[in-house]
């Protein structure tokens, strides 16, 4: 267990039984001795832990807590990692203030305004051309 973590996330009974039968399981280290953090294989994270994406779907964020565990797996020969956070320590997502929402609206409108003709389009101006499709195709250069 990592010294800054108050509680170990836990063991998975099915995986412990597989180990007892002599089956090797990649990336199963619930005590954190091998990888430095409690580590679980893909789709075997214990209850009470979630990735940042899973927290976001619940309207939560890690809120400054330390990483509680990790999931490791291989994809196309490369090792991938997803960090897990405790649900009981997660905080609600922050909401943008009205002033921030106005600023975001202005920034998005600027991305849709053609610098050549000055018209507001219903799509973002392509970075490759730097102007709207009408100006690029219409020969306004």
Question: What are the extents of the domains in the chain?
Answer: 13-92, 98-138
| CA count, 13 A, side-chain hemisphere, 79 | 9
Q: Report the pLDDT value the prediction gives residue 6, as an integer from 0 to 100.
A: 47
Instruction: Check whether 140 has a pLDDT greater than 60.
Output: no
Instruction: Check whether 71 has a pLDDT greater than 90.
Output: yes
Q: Report the pLDDT value the prediction gives residue 130, as an integer from 0 to 100.
A: 93
Per DSSP, 29 falls in state B
Instruction: Check whether 40 has a pLDDT greater than 50.
Output: yes
Rounded average pLDDT over 58-77: 94
d(CA 61, CA 127): 32
Say what the pTM is.
0.66
């Amino acid at each position: 267990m990592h010294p800054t973590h108050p509680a170990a996330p836990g063991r998975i009974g099915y995986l412990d039984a597989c180990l007892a039968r002599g089956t090797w399981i990649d990336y199963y280290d619930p005590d954190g001795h091998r990888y430095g953090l409690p580590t679980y294989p893909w789709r075997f994270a214990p209850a009470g832990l979630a990735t940042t994406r899973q927290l976001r779907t619940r309207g939560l964020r890690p809120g400054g807590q330390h990483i509680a565990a990790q999931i490791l797996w291989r994809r196309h020969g490369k090792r991938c990692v997803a960090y897990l956070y405790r649900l009981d320590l997660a905080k609600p997502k922050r909401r943008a203030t009205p002033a921030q929402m106005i600023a975001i609206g202005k920034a998005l409108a600027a991305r849709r305004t053609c610098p050549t003709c000055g018209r507001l389009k219903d799509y973002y101006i392509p970075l490759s051309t730097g102007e709207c499709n009408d100006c690029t195709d219409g020969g306004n250069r």
